[in-house]
Amino acid sequence: MPARITPARLAFNEHGIPFSNEFDDAYHSPDGGIGQAEHVFLNGNDLPARWQGRDMFTIVETGFGQGLNFLVTWAAWRADPAAGRRLHFASVERHPFGRDDLAALLARLPQFGELAAQLVERWPDLTPGFHRLALDEGRITLTLLFGDALDVLPELDACADAIYLDGFSPAKNPELWSPEVFRQLWRLSHPGTTLATYTAAGTVRRSLNECGFAVERAKGYGSKWHMLRGGVARAPRQARSASTARHALIVGAGLAGCATAERLAARGWCIDLVDSAPAPATQSSGNPAGLMHAYVSQDDNLLSRLSRAGNAATLAKLAELAGAGLTVPHGVDGILQVARDDAQEALQRKIAEAGTCHGLQFWSADDARSRLGLRPARGGWWFERGAWINPPAYCAALLARHADRIRFRPDTPIVRLARDEATQQWQAFDAQDRLVGTAPVVILANASAARALAQGSELPLWSVARVASRLAADALPLPAAGIAGAGYVTGAHAGERVIGAAAYGGDLAAAGDDNRKALMALLPDAGLADDIALTHRLCQRPASPDRLPLVGALPERWHAGYPRCHQPQQIPRQPGLYGVLGFGARGLSWATLMGELLASQLDGEPLPLEKSLVRAVDPARFLLRALRRGEAYQPPLSGSDDD
């Protein structure tokens, strides 16, 4: 079963300082939390001087607590006219506060009113793993690592410029001050990394020095005589640098291409977005409504973790777009996933009643009828944050968010790519072999059409033809919520609902009838007539063998002399060529998160996902498995996108 996150319990000691009964320790110095943050963590890392003039600066912290160090740092960054373009702050927390308790704590700090309000508004659900929050119009990126430090720090891919070593005292929480944690922090360091902590305990100082740091005692804060500060004695890596290209050609203007364009443009990149169609989101992403909810599994597998993170990223992006005046038609009205059979219904009940999946409930068929007004064929999972979204409008809003940096070029099919090694530029050619664009970076976001290009011919992608049907919203007495299972029906948009998505066997009308029958099986009491008016739309879903996307640098094509590789970083890659592909039926879940992942990779930023999840979507993963076995690589080119 998935790991649980145990929230912190709101409590105070006799001095009114936030206090942990579990660790029998206060969250900050009795001499003042703000002063401690400024003296120990800012001054101890020579901040703000060290971030001035830097395009990007990254801080890694152990122990987010109530977020005081983060808020003090954010306020100092915002107040500094010489601060760089972006601040990344990655922080570990094993026992996070719930949103209401965090709001209560931060209400006691009125000097951080606006910043605290942003933090509370974007505070994530308390689920294990990484949670990325965009703050201050994207200038501040907070990546919360919810879980035990020894579980989450090895999963962090980042290059720290400064380390805030914080947490409850070594005597109260010795696991956080262990050599294993210090070695992980050293792994994230480069020659210029600094570290500071409020404690001066000899065991901590000696252990840090033994693990590759060089720290010494310095004047402490308030009643504490000493603290520790220093840097790296021997660095495991060089400082990470961003791509110098800052210009990309993206092939494909569906959800994948539009989301990636928006994430790169937000970082100052100039984007040429090309598509063979006359407008964005006219192919796989062109349905007027789609459903989005997390995948749930008993073992919290890769698909579950990725879809949960992806849904959160999409919902956050919708809120951000709305704040910028770019409202996308959507509704977070919940989704009921009806069990396909009695065995699945029993499993759904068991998983939901375990209480490990945030926002998930099991509803019996009678429960659903009392809440939604219509009885489904069986019980199922209720996703309270399940949503329907209009994909074309979402794509349009993404492109409008940074419209001055994105140039859309319609009716521009790309049939050939060639790399000019002298200029290190990719050249893109159309069907008449005319040069239509050049860029140092090319990103394939054109679904299974990527395989028509020589550079993508070995990608494990194929298309699955599906048909979505539309019916009048008032044709049936359906709830606002979406219903899913063997088929699905969305919430209402522009007077219509979408049902689907049946396999296409060459006859649109027959597939539409299959959609009608699937909806009848889900909701037998709905009274769906045989002659109900439906219109149909065919789309090709790009599928991969494991139903996970392919995101990252594309590998070199396999050949007989290919080196035997055992790790992803050993795979030779095609320089400047990337993919954001294979979204299958989960484009709304994947698009924003995968765009953020690729943009972070290109800009040398901390990654928004655990390393295990990044490896799980690496486009080279199937090639790597063959190379590990010493076998010739044959890409799998058939399968299904079914859940």
Which residues, other chains included, contact 549 with Cβ-Cβ below 8 Å and sequence gap of 6+? 580, 581, 582, 583, 584, 590, 594, 617
Residue 561 · residue 228 · CB < 8 Å: no
For residue 643, the model assigns a pLDDT of 55
Q: Is the pLDDT of residue 499 over 80?
A: yes
Work out the mean pLDDT of the chain and round it to a whole number. Answer: 93
Q: Is the pLDDT of residue 356 over 80?
A: no
The string of pLDDT tens digits covering residues 58-113 is 999 999 999 999 999 999 999 999 999 999 999 999 999 999 999 999 999 999 99
Least trusted range by pLDDT, from 135-144, 193-202, 526-535 = 526-535
Q: Is the pLDDT of residue 305 over 90?
A: yes
- DSSP for 204-272, written as a single string: HHHHHHHTTEEEEEEE-STT--EEEEEEESS-SSPPP---S--EEEEE--SHHHHHHHHHHHTTT-EEE
Residue 401 · residue 224 · CB < 8 Å: no
Mean per-residue pLDDT for 547-573? 92
Q: Is the pLDDT of residue 209 over 50?
A: yes
Q: Is the pLDDT of residue 2 over 50?
A: no
> What is the separation of C-alpha 446 from the centre of its chain, rounded to a whole number of angstroms?
20
For residue 1, the model assigns a pLDDT of 38
Q: Is the pLDDT of residue 563 over 80?
A: yes
Q: Is the peptide bond before 368 cis (omega within 30 degrees of 0)?
A: no
361: phi then psi, degrees, rounded to nearest 5? -130, 160
For residue 612, the model assigns a pLDDT of 96
For residue 641, the model assigns a pLDDT of 61
For residue 3, the model assigns a pLDDT of 58
Kindly tell me the number of DSSP H helices and DSSP E strands found in the chain.
16, 30
Residue 35 · residue 72 · CB < 8 Å: no
What residue spans of 374-506 are helical by DSSP H?
A: 391-401
Q: Is the pLDDT of residue 38 over 80?
A: yes
- 3-state class of 446 per DSSP? coil
Mean per-residue pLDDT for 454-476? 92
Whole-structure pTM value: 0.95
The string of pLDDT tens digits covering residues 425-464 is 999 999 999 999 999 999 999 999 999 999 999 999 999 9
Domains within the chain, CATH numbers bracketed:
19-232 (3.40.50.150), 248-281+393-461+544-629 (3.50.50.60), 290-294+326-387+464-540 (3.30.9.10)
Mean per-residue pLDDT for 490-496? 92
Mean per-residue pLDDT for 161-186? 95
* Distance separating alpha carbons of residues 120 and 464, to the nearest angstrom: 42
Q: Is the pLDDT of residue 489 over 80?
A: yes
pLDDT band of 614, cuts 50, 70, 90: very high
